[in-house]
Structure 1
Amino acid sequence: MNPESVEQVRVLYETLGWRVAAVLAVPLLGMFVYGGLLSEWERENYWLVLVLGFVLAVVIVIAFPFGLKML
């Protein structure tokens, strides 16, 4: 990323806060809803994927501001 892009993302995060990270997690959560609609929970490892995906979504929300500081 060039410095201008990093600054734009930083300003966006400072303006909207955690809502930006939550929006970034929406596609991941949408995948789980779609899997539920297809009855994927009957598969043996779907619950493991669901739990790991939820943990990943939480990590994304928590780590987003720290990632900006590293840029």
Structure 2
Amino acid sequence: MELGAENIKCGNSTKAGSDKKQGPANIETSPGPLDRSVSRLRQELASVARAKMKHNNEALKTQLTPIYT
């Protein structure tokens, strides 16, 4: 199940014995609280990953410096 799928309301269905159709599907465009939480966690994870990669690169440089000098 995709995130946000619960916010989709089908509006093109017809009732039995009726030719009247409802309007187009109503899709809410504003993100829900779960979507905002997921987005915030992704940003935080990316930030932590960048910091860890930078730290690992610095540590690797200090380990390799004596070899190449």
- Which structure has more helix as a fraction of its residues? 1
Higher RCO structure (Cα 8 Å, ≥6 apart): 1
Normalising by structure 2, we get a TM-score of 0.35
The structure with the largest alpha-carbon Rg is 2
- Which structure has more strand as a fraction of its residues? 2
